[in-house]
Amino acid sequence: MANSAQARKRARQAVVARAHNASLRSRLRTAIKAVRKAVLGGDKAAAQTVFRSSMSTIDSVADKKIIHKNKAARHKSRLSAAIKAMSA
């Protein structure tokens, strides 16, 4: 356990930051799942619409360094490829 006042405060702050980061990570996963669900649904236009909205979420989480920027790029690339592979 933290012994100094500074260490106790940092421990309190870490709890709040961890909860915030967890909520952002959850929002990221939900956005990715929404695109995958739309792709499985078979409607390409709907999938593109959901993808455009989820791209901002992915970028936002990467900007806050919750995930690495390359991981965000990889997710966007794979989702985009899945949409392009759909039949028109």
Give the global pTM: 0.86
CB 50 within 8 A of CB 40: no
Q: What is the DSSP letter of 42?
A: T
Q: Write 38-41 long-range contacts (CB < 8 A, 24+).
A: 39/79, 39/82, 39/83, 39/86
**Domains of the chain: residue spans and CATH:** 5-84 (1.20.58.110)
Rounded Cα gap, residues 39 and 72, in angstroms: 19
Tens of pLDDT along the chain (88 residues) come to: 789 999 999 999 999 999 999 999 999 999 999 999 999 999 999 999 999 999 999 999 999 999 999 999 999 999 999 999 997 6
| Residue 41: half-sphere exposure toward Cβ, Cα within 13 Å | 13
